[in-house]
Structures are given as structure tokens and as C-alpha cells.
Amino acid sequence: MIPEEAVADVLRRTDIVQLIGAYVPLKAAGRTFKGLCPFHTEKTPSFVVNPERQIFHCFGCGEGGDAIAFLVKHERLTFPEAVRFLAQQAGVALPATGRSDPDQGQGRLALLEIHREALAHFRENLRGSEGAPAREYLAGRGLTAELVDRFQLGYALARWDGLLRALKKRGQPDKLIETAGLIVPRQTGTGHYDRFRHRLMIPIWDVASHVIGFGGRALEAQEVKYLNSPETPLYRKGTHLYGLNLAARAVRERNMAIVVEGYFDAIMLHAHGFEHAVATLGTALTAEQARLLGRYTSRVTLLFDPDPAGIGAARRNLEHLINVDLDWRVVVLPGGLDPDAFVRANGAAAFAAALEAAQDLVTFFLDQRVSGLDMADPVQQARAADALVEVLAGIDNPIRREGYVHKVAQRTPITGRALLEAVARQRAKAGRQDAAPETAAPAASPPTAEEHLIYIALTYPEWRERIASALGMEEIRDPVLRRIYADFVQSGGAPASADHPPALSGYPPEIQRRLSWLWAWDPWSRAAAAAEGQGLTPQEVEELLTRTVEDCLARVGRARAVTERHALRQALENAGRRGDPDEVLRLLGEHPSVKRGRNAG
């Protein structure tokens, strides 16, 4: 329903590195950018974004495609939604199709738009006369106007339908606003009312800075202190972290994330220079959130409320995170203060000192405040170590488990051997298996001659016509490669480039993956460097390409001859079984391999 020309224009105006870089930390690697794949778990980056071809490809899991395909796969948008999203970002007006669009007004894109409009409404309220109570509250907590703008804080009016009326004026239907979690059906009668009323509004973003939900802080003591958006098609609280979009750069630069529990804890830490702070969203830190942090850093420092409930939550949190392979540290702030109150009362230097004194997991679990035991008493030290056995038994990586066991042994009177035996018994009792050792991805099969030829035709347009005339369609046995060859080499159209990127999302997934692989694959890095005067001369590049094309065409010819001889053998055997000597003579006289041999003789 969206014209191909419009899709091509949207892709041409989209910076795929900027788009994907909002979701995945990318580092320049020559002419491409690399990062950890968002579609599977990995420690070594195998995800490549090629700005010249406007494609991405993961050499680990095989996912690949263009900017539209990335949004379809990562954001679960439909094709029309992804095109409209990119068009909006690039300032491209899509032409009217004259047909009703089944995705219009539905799905994730429509929900993102409702949240954007709701945020604008809340921010306008905060600036208006009715926002005075919220402004007074913010001033009382020490938030400057700059902080309010940076975190886009707002105010929900003290009305039953303030937001509902504003969104309906913009043409948003009740059902979609309800799906967004912003209004609630009335229990009696019909209609809806606003979920958030007379509250300071805190937008919740995803890593790409899209508003996906809200937290509402009560301004009256008798109200529930915090009211958060329910889970929606956009928002699952266990998969996002508050402020990560703002903290991502600092987290990467410092190679550390600070994780706190409250919105204002994160906001005030940012205000005092700790811009690598993020907050959980009303739950304990989940393994999915921890893996999200793992894309940006290998070190995480957790801060918990210093009361018994906070310490208990910290222990439970770490017990289920201990299998996530990050360098965990824990800080329990002195004085019974949460991070917000502590940094305002004591300043940035005192908070930095508290971070420096962060405990590793073993020290934390053996802390008297956590164990409840007197760690100066050897007997009680042993009891604390015994209590840790179940926690240590939950570590499935045998190397990490043994490392933690030795740390416990160094700080208690129990020997490492005794602890290892106790942990082994506990694991056997629980039926736990060691995690399989990480193995390198199986080596990819060497590229075929056909893949080499198609790669050269795609990368060096001046070779396309020669290859197309020498390589017959029937000589390409792989059906996926055959489709790519037909559409991108033999078609005679303009070669794909950053100025003319193809809409890969219009092709089946197997075509997208193979084509993105061909464009991301770089067997000619020396040749590519020649353009910058760092490698071969243009003449040497041409000679290299000539030898490669001739060699690959010869390999295709030899494979064709083998296939022809096999077919001749089968046909001769069939003719012999039928007792048909005329057919045998005809086959011997007409078969190409026989003709070539006769001509050579």
C-alpha cells in the first residue's frame, strides 16, 4: 500500500547507524560499525552495521536486513508502521494510498504517538497555573528547571478526565487510550477516567528515548505514593530501566552502571554528576534488565535502601542475578539514607567515596547486616558460610562458582574443599547441571564460487555486466542465491548503494539474511583500503578482481562439467537398460562434454 518509490526515499533519508545506535552501542570498525547483537546473547560483537549499504547483519545468529527490517524485528512493528516511523523521523511526507490502511491507528506506532501526546499534555500542565503544587514539590526536592526539562517531568491535572479530553480532541479513540494504560474503564456505567490525577508525572523511556509509560508521584500524603503505568504492548517493567537512554553514553564511557530503586534517586544522582545511574521500575532487578546492561558495561553497582527490608530485597535480588555474568558490586549507604537523600545531604564527594567502598558479592553476603551473624566469631562465620552454600550452588558456570567458593574460604574458617563438596551435594540434591562451556561459533563454510561472483557484482558495479553474461542462471544451484542474482545482478537496474538502498523488507527473511551477509562480508578489505591509498593500487585491485572472477568462473565451469557427466552417465545407463543403441549414439554425439573432447582431439 506504500509505493516502492516512497519506501526507497525513506530508506535513502535514514541514517541506519544513528537508528540502530539508539538501541545498540556501536563502535566504528573500519568502514562499518560493530556491537553486541540485540537478537541473541553474545559476549564478542558479531553484529555489523554497514552505512554504505544501509544494512545490518549478525554473523552469529544470521539476522540481517535494512532499517525497516530492524524495526520490524526489534520493535515488533509491522512493515507499514516501520515505514511511517522512519518517515516521521526523516521528515518525509508519505503519499496517500487511497486505500484504508489496516495498521493505521493500531499497533505500537499508534501507542507511541499517544504517549508522545500525553507527555506534551503533562508538560504543558506543569507550566500552567494548575501546575503550581507540582512545581512547589519539585523545588522542595531541589530540582532545577534544567533537570525538569532534561527528565521531561510533567503534571496530571486534578480532574477525572483532563488527559482523556485532551487526547480525544486530537482524535484518539477511547479503546486505544485504554490500551496505552492511560485511562481506566468506569466500574459503574460507561466511559473512562484518567489513571493519573493530581500527580507529578515522570515519563518512562525505552533505550531509543521513546516514551512507553509513566510513573506518577502523589502530591497528597493520603494517596498511594507511586502509581505506575500497567504493562502494555509497549511497556513491560521487567525489560526496561528508567533513565538508561540518558545514561547509556556515561555507562559506556565509565564501564559501570549504578542501579538504584527510585526515579528521584536516579534523577538526583544525575544532577550531582553520576550520569551513569539508572533505576529499576518498581521491581527487583531482573535477569533481562541485567542482560540489557551487559550490552553497555561489564560492571554494575547496586544501591539498596539501608533498612532491613532493603537489605533483604538486595539479598533476594542477587541470589537470582548471580548467574548473569557481570561484575556485581553492592553499596549500602550509611546513615539510613536512600541515594537521593544521601547525595543531597552529603554531596557528590561522599557518594563517590561510598561507591569506592562497594562490596563484592561474597563480602556483601557475609556482611553482618545481611547474615545477621557476628562475623568476628569464627563459629558464626562458619554458619554464615553454610548459609551461602545454597546461593553458591545456584551458580551454573563451574569456573565462576569455584572462584566464589575460594573467596568465601578466604574469609571464613571453612576450607575451600569442604565448601566445594557441600556445594556439589546441594547441586546434586537440586538436580542442577553445569552450564555448557562456551564454544566458538562453528566456522562458516568457505564461500562458494557463486557467492564470490555475486559479491563482486554487488560491490563493484563495473563487473556486473561481465559476470551476468558469463554466469548462467541455471548454474546457480542455491535457490536463495539465484533469486538475489536475478534481482540484483541480472536485472540491469541501478546497483544498490547508500543513495539507492534496496527495500530488503519486501523480500522473504531468507533473502534478507543472505543479501545482508553478502553486503556485510568483507573479503576484500585490502582492496577497499586501496581507495584511501592504504593498500593495493587501483591497477592491483583490478588484477586481483580479474584473477578472482576468472578462477570462480572456472570453478563454476568444472562443477557444470561434473554435473553434465553425471547426467550423461545416468542417461546412458537408462538407454542401455532399455536396449536403445540409437539413443546411446545420440547422447554420445550431442553431449557437451563429449563434443568438447572431440573438438580438442
pLDDT at 529: 45
On whether the pTM is more than 0.75, the answer is yes
The mean pLDDT of 184-197, rounded to a whole number, is 90
The residue behind cell 592491483 is 540
The DSSP bridge partners found for residue 242 are 279
From 86-100, 280-294, 383-397, the region with the lowest mean pLDDT: 86-100
The residue behind cell 537489605 is 311
Are 265 and 339 spatial neighbours (Cβ–Cβ below 8 Å)? Answer: yes
The mean pLDDT of 446-453, rounded to a whole number, is 84
pLDDT at 592: 54
Other beta carbons within 10 Å of 353: 10
What residue spans of 53-144 are helical by DSSP H? 67-74, 79-90, 107-127, 132-140
Ranges 236-250, 432-446, 448-462, 539-553, most confident: 236-250
The predicted-structure confidence for 482-533, as pLDDT tens digits, reads as follows 998 888 888 765 555 555 666 677 788 888 888 888 888 766 544 444 444 4
Are 463 and 545 spatial neighbours (Cβ–Cβ below 8 Å)? Answer: yes
- What is the 3-class SS of 407-432, one letter each residue? HHHHHCCCCHHHHHHHHHHHHHHHCC
Structural domains present in the chain: 4-103 (3.90.580.10), 105-235 (3.90.980.10), 239-358 (3.40.1360.10), 373-430 (no CATH), 449-585 (no CATH)
CA distance 55 to 462: 22
Give the pairing of strands 27-29 and 32-35: antiparallel
Reduce the DSSP state of residue 559 to 3 states and report it. Answer: helix
pLDDT at 593: 52
Residue type, 363: T
Q: Which residues touch 272 (CB under 8 Å, ≥6 apart)? A: 343, 347, 348, 351
Reduce the DSSP state of residue 27 to 3 states and report it. Answer: strand
Are 427 and 393 spatial neighbours (Cβ–Cβ below 8 Å)? Answer: yes
pLDDT at 116: 96
The residue behind cell 553454610 is 386
The predicted-structure confidence for 199-234, as pLDDT tens digits, reads as follows 999 999 999 899 999 999 999 887 899 999 999 999
pLDDT at 301: 94
pLDDT at 217: 96
- Rounded to the nearest angstrom, the gap between the alpha carbon of residue 515 and the centroid of all alpha carbons in its chain is 21
Phi, psi (deg, nearest 5) at residue 157: -60, 155
194: cell is 484518567
CA distance 549 to 450: 10
Reduce the DSSP state of residue 195 to 3 states and report it. Answer: coil
The percentage of the chain sitting over the pLDDT mark of 90, rounded to a whole number, equals: 36
- CA quadruple 390, 395, 398, 400: dihedral, nearest 10: -110
Question: How is residue 237 annotated by DSSP?
Answer: G
- 99 band by pLDDT with thresholds 50, 70 and 90: very low
The mean pLDDT of 241-264, rounded to a whole number, is 94
Residue type, 462: E
Are 242 and 278 spatial neighbours (Cβ–Cβ below 8 Å)? Answer: yes
